[in-house]
Amino acid sequence: MISTFKFNNVFIISSATVSGPKEKEGPLGNYIDYSYDDVMAGTSSFELGESKMITLAMQLAMQKAHLSNNEIDLIIGGDLTNQISSSSEAVMNFKTSFIGVYGACSTSMLSLINSAIFIESRLANNVVSFASSNYGSAERQFRYPLEYGVKKKETATTTVSGSGAIILSNISSKIKVISGTVGRVCNVEWQNPNDMGSAMAYAAFDTILNHLKNEKMTPEDYDLIVTGDLSEVGSKVLLDLFNEYGIEIRNHVDAGNMIYDKNTQKDVYSGGSGCACLSLVGYGYIFNMMIDKKIKDVLLVGTGCLHSKISAAQKSVIPIIAHAVHLRRVE
Amino acid sequence: MRLEKYKKIVKNNEKKEKYLRNSLLAFLGGGTLGVIAQSLIDLYYNVLNFKKDESFALMSITIVFITSILTLFGVYKKVGKIFGAGLFVPTTGFANSLTSASIEGRYEGFILGVGSKAFSLAGSVIFYGISFSIIFLIISQILIFFGVNI
């Protein structure tokens, strides 16, 4: 059983995105609110830089909504560092109730759905939801030292540096949260941490398919289906999985393919990945398109590989998950 | 959906690694490094009049030193990415793994960072290098004991 939760009075009243330099140079750089010149954001470590980006993203989102700390009931969010320490350090300054979530690269949608539940149930009036990742801290966490000079696989992805924050409220606004599907952890007997897109494609397929069934909708009912970080290879796998099932999807895009320009930007490999990939593209570019009335119904699908460095070293299978959120522009 | 079908779809979409190109580049990189190393040995042995075994050791030390400096300034990473195994397998790869891990450790301080993280990747090379040296020493001594001429 895979559950879709329907929401009647949840709106996104503001959003803000903060990134590193590489994302700013990318094709969607203009939609990012603030970009630092280095991924450490002027601090002494990648982890501190990440928490600085989270702090700024939340501050900007609150400024845009004209809300002060006292008016925020709850903050929900996470990142990719060990024990999501960067997130905890960031929210320390806000002195507000905090729930840390971990869903690897699906964290943005996991925290969005959780936040929506608090608003829908009227337990909270304003909830900040964020997700963050950082090239430096994530590479250290999951891969090799940054100066390690080996050839990367063609399927490897590049962790996006940045943070996206949104504020959910029951006050009506242009972007309404219609429903959210919490994915299930799948096992596709995958062990290759150098190609996570192909693995996560299955989780995305499973969640999207069940979301459509639960919502009694077809892919055409959406103007855009946006996946988080399947990258080049994973996106093809996702579309082929649907083809095999007899469903053709024509309106799919992947944030991992959009955030960087593979032709002009160096060392991008198969595309972007990380929690910030979907939060930067979704909360920046996609929200802009919705507000500009270019698109109305959007399905955001966050995908994540839930392995750790230890489980990968022990050659355990990589558990995968995807969460989907249906957003609609309302007048 | 059956897992077999999924696996077939993944296989169909597999991105081909450029094996021929990578192999040629590795051959070129490794070969050039070999020429440089031999030139260094000649320099130490013929020009600077070191003993043969000293020249070999000095060559290794020089290569490790240069690689570490290049790693420190972010140059090695760019070269290593091009030539792959050509530089990864020889001493250059060992020196790079040591220095890169050490650089990364600077955020955690000199003891828990730089010092202890230096061998996080290179540790197994040293461990198995020494372990097998001991094993081979024992074997060779046993053979010599039984009169085998090595």
Whether the CB of B5 is below 8 Å from some CB of chain A: the reply is yes
Residues A266 and A151: their CA atoms lie apart, in Å, by 14
**Residue among B17, B22, B74 whose CB faces A147 most closely:** B74
Q: What is the pLDDT of residue A267?
A: 85
* CA geometry: angle A178, A120, A84, nearest 5 deg: 90
Predicted ipTM of the assembly: 0.88
Structure tokens at A267: 């060392």
Please answer whether residues A60 and A18 qualify as being in contact, where contact means their C-beta atoms are separated by less than 8 angstroms. yes
pLDDT band with cut points at 50, 70 and 90 for residue A153: confident
Contacts of B9 in chain A (CB under 8 A): 237, 240-241, 244
Distances (CA, A) of A296 to A107, A178, B104: 24, 12, 46
Q: What was the pLDDT predicted at A58?
A: 98
Tokens of B59: 């060559």
Residue appearing with tokens 């939340």:
A58
Residue range B92-141, pLDDT digits in tens: 999 999 999 999 999 999 999 999 989 998 999 899 999 999 999 999 99
Chain A residues in contact with B87 by the CB 8 A cut-off are 149
Res B2: pLDDT: 84
Phi, psi (deg, nearest 5) at residue A140? -65, -40
Q: A12-24, pLDDT tens digit by residue?
A: 999 999 999 999 9
Per-residue pLDDT band at A155 (split at 50, 70, 90): confident
Scan residues 69-98 of B and list those with Cβ closer than 8 Å to A: 71-72, 74, 76-81, 84-85, 87-88, 93, 96-97
Across A57-192, the runs of DSSP E, i.e. the strands, are: 74-78, 98-100, 126-133, 158-159, 162-169, 175-181
User: Burial, A88: exposed, middle or buried (Cβ in 10 Å; 0-12, 13-18, 19+)?
Assistant: middle
Looking at the DSSP assignment, which residues form a beta bridge with residue A128?
A: A75, A167
Cα–Cα distance for residue pair B23/B51, rounded to 1 Å:
35
| Residues on chain A touching B80 (C-beta within 8 angstroms) | 148-151
Residue A138 pLDDT? 93
Region A65-87 average pLDDT: 96
For residue B4, give how far its alpha carbon lies from the nearest alpha carbon of chain A (Å).
10
Whether the predicted pLDDT of A218 surpasses 80 = yes
User: Which tokens belong to B44?
Assistant: 């130490």
> What number is the average pLDDT over the span A224-234?
95
What is the rounded distance in angstroms from the CA atom of residue B134 to the CA atom of residue B127? 11
Per DSSP, the three-state class of A323 is strand
Scanning every residue of chain A, which has its alpha carbon at the shortest distance from the alpha carbon of B119? A145
> Which residues are CB-neighbours of A211 under 8 A, at least 6 positions away?
A4, A179, A181, A299, A324, A326
Q: Which of A140, A155, A188 sits opposite B3 (nearest CB)?
A: A188
- Among chain A residues, the shortest Cα distance to B93 is held by A149
Residue A125 DSSP one-character state: S
Contact partners, residue A159, CB within 8 Å, separation at least 6: A80, A133, A134, A135, A138, A139, A272, A273, A274
Judge whether A211 and A4 are in contact, CB under 8 Å. yes
**Cα A27 off chain centre by:** 18
User: Beta strands A98-100 and A34-35: pairing type?
Assistant: unpaired
Which of B70, B103, B104 to mutate against chain A (most A CBs within 10 Å)?
A: B104
A/B interface, count of CB pairs below 8 Å: 93
Q: What tens digit of pLDDT does each residue of B38-82 get?
A: 999 999 999 999 999 999 999 999 999 999 999 999 999 999 999
Residue B150 has pLDDT above 80, yes or no: no
Closest-CA distance, A234 to chain B, in angstroms, reads 8
The answer to whether B81 contacts A149, with C-beta atoms less than 8 Å apart, is: yes
Q: What is the pLDDT of residue A266?
A: 86
pLDDT at A78 over 80: yes
The length of chain B, given as a count of residues: 150
Strands A74-78 and A158-159: unpaired
Which residue from A111, A151, A131 is spatially nearest to A275, judged by alpha carbons? A131
- Determine the 3-state secondary structure of A192 from DSSP: coil
At residue B148, the pLDDT reads: 86
Using a 10 angstrom Cβ sphere, with 0-12 exposed, 13-18 middle and 19 or more buried, the burial of residue B113 is middle
pLDDT for A150 equals 84
Of A45, A145, A202, the CB nearest to B101: A145
As a dihedral over the C-alpha atoms of residue B58, residue B63, residue B69, residue B70, rounded to 10 degrees, the angle is 160
Q: Inter-chain contact B80–A150, Cβ cutoff 8 Å?
A: yes
CA–CA dist B109, B88 (Å, integer)? 27
